[in-house]
Amino acid sequence: MSWQTVLGFEVHIELATRSKMFCGCPADHFGKTPNSQTCPVCLGLPGALPVPNVRAVEWCIKLGLALNCQINRFSKFDRKNYFYPDLPKGYQISQYDQPFGHSGHLFLSSGKKIRITRVHLEEDTGKLQHAVVEGKKVSLIDFNRSGVPLVEIVTEPDFTDSSQSDEFLKEIQNIVRALDISRADMEKGSMRLEANISVMPAGQTNLPPYKVEVKNVNSFRFIKKAVDFEISRHIKLLESGKTPKQETRGYSESLGGTVSQRSKEEAHDYRYFPEPDIPPMTFTNSQINKWLQELPPLPEQIRSELISNFTLSSANAAIIASNQQMYNIFTQAVSDPEFSPKAIADVLINKRYGPVLPKTGNDLIKYLKSLNQTSISDSSQITEAVKKIISANPRAIADIKSGKQQALFYLIGLIKRDLGNVDISLVKKILIEQIL
């Protein structure tokens, strides 16, 4: 029997507002001393009242517009009730039946349409840290993250394999960065991925009677591995006559697969009801249109313009469109008619000038013009430049001595900027002689 994957996603993104969702505490919590950015509101103390962050609401709606969502003119917050140690109030302020955005979509490069069910706003939870204190295993709670504005994007189960999901999730990150509402850094936890996975016989039209959720994955590579692992696990169970258990699982890098965490809740388990401490919100058509007009060029539009206006390949257009600094340098540099857009893109993407992007398009053009000059191979001139660079970069020298070759290429790039077109092999030889 052949099988068909049914796959959808929930993407959580922390917004980069200055303050938290419902209080004035700083929202930038990464790397801060535990529980140093808290107050009665985000600690859920009795009598504390939430006040919504207007900027977070605006950014959530703008993200919904960027994802082609319909925006609810009337919306509200709801209480999602459940008990967990990192949830100090015993409930989370979220959105249930009237989210800010709904019924959106995003197209993959193949033309496949991924439907977006909803884009809603909620508060993040605290963070559990498992440690050993005085020889005992304990779980500590850091509430700095509690109350940080968190956008959740929920898709329909439109994915049929992990490669489609990989493209979609990376595009979501690119869009969020283009809107400048979050860095969506996976390693800092400001973008977290959850997959809802099930498998059914090929050709079946009704959805399977179960689904498994893999929660809180912080890597595109890991979420792909988790999905592939789950698909294989489900097929083995189904072929043995068993139905996979509806549950929540986590991904273990060391095991190379997923592990069971708890049985999966249904919506009614959360006992949603309207948040009584926050009045409902209404938005006018003029407000929505204003936010729509304020949207910057999005990655899909930028890729299309790079291909049509500058005849770049789709691969090169995708790389430039995904990096705002690289895109700005490229658009500045192409104003110089001496060099073709393809040549400029090639130098940028392959970093022929060194490991660090030039500051401006003009700097890049200067470098390209230097390539047309005679290569400098005067050892005394290079040695003098090398000594200056070594003196000004003690940290890079220490990195080289510890075996980090990337630091050597960094210094070569600095010398190239200083002297122009030089004999790279000679520069490397003199650098090594002077350092070691």
pLDDT at res. 403: 79
Low-confidence ranges of the chain (pLDDT < 50): none
Domain boundaries, the chain: 3-291, 297-372, 376-436
Of how many residues is the chain composed?
436
Number of Cα atoms under 13 Å in the Cβ half of residue 209: 5
pLDDT at res. 44: 94
pLDDT at res. 404: 79
Here the tokens at position 3 are 């099988």
pLDDT at res. 369: 77
CA distance 194 to 153: 10
Give every CB contact of residue 365 below 8 A, 6+ residues apart in sequence.
Answer: 333, 336, 338, 339
pLDDT at res. 375: 60
pLDDT at res. 158: 97
From the candidate CATH numbers 1.10.10.410, 3.30.450.20, 3.30.200.20, 2.60.40.10, the one assigned to the domain spanning 376-436: 1.10.10.410
Chain segment 35-85, per-residue pLDDT in tens: 999 999 999 999 999 999 999 999 999 999 999 999 999 999 999 999 889
Instruction: Output the DSSP codes for 119-186.
Output: EEEEE---EEEEEEETTEEEEEEETTSTT-EEEEEEE-S-B-SHHHHHHHHHHHHHHHHHHTS----G
CA distance 192 to 190: 7
Q: Is beta strand 70-71 parallel, antiparallel or unpaired with respect to 74-75? A: unpaired
pLDDT at res. 371: 66
Is the pTM above the cut of 0.85?
Answer: no
CA distance 208 to 99: 26
Here the tokens at position 223 are 């979420």
Taking alpha carbons only, the member of 124, 63, 117, 59 closest to residue 93 is 124
Q: Kindly list the strands in the beta sheet with 91-94, ordered across the sheet, starting from the edge strand earlier in the chain.
A: 91-94, 78-81, 273-274
Give every CB contact of residue 201 below 8 A, 6+ residues apart in sequence.
Answer: 1, 2, 3, 4
CA distance 192 to 12: 5
For residue 252, the surrounding DSSP H or E stretch is strand 247-252
Residue 363, number of CB atoms within 10 A of its CB: 16
